Amino acid sequence: MVSLKFRLEPCFSNSIFVFCNKKKNTIKLLRWDGNGYLLATKKLMEEMKFQWPKSPEEILDISQQEYKWLLEGLKIEQPKAHRKIKKKEMVY
């Protein structure tokens, strides 16, 4: 699905592909570990749902923090969260 439908290369060791079912209570994580694929599944308890993005066909590049929020049941868009600030070099 990663290579055929989304035209992405699943063999990047720094990428994790996350898929969610229609009920939004199960996600599957796909990752290449150098000599094979790791496939993990997380299924939530009854009446719990993942805050999955609205568009099911959309591919998102998310940060590690956004990934953590997703697994914790939060939306990946957290407008009140502190953003990382790039430090400017001081010129003397």
More confident residue, 32 or 86: 32
Tell me how crowded residue 32 is: count the other CB atoms within 10 A of its CB. 18
Q: Are strands 26-32 and 37-43 parallel, antiparallel or unpaired?
A: antiparallel
Domain of residue 27 covers 16-71
The answer to whether residue 26 sits within a structural domain is yes
Q: Decide if 59 is inside a domain.
A: yes
**In one letter, which amino acid is 78?**
Q
**Across the chain, what does the average pLDDT equal?**
80
For the chain, the domain total comes to: 1
CA 79 centroid distance within chain:
17
Q: Is the pTM of this model over 0.85?
A: no
As a whole number of angstroms, the distance between CA 36 and CA 57 comes to 26
Q: Are strands 26-32 and 16-20 parallel, antiparallel or unpaired?
A: antiparallel
- Is residue 89 in a domain? no
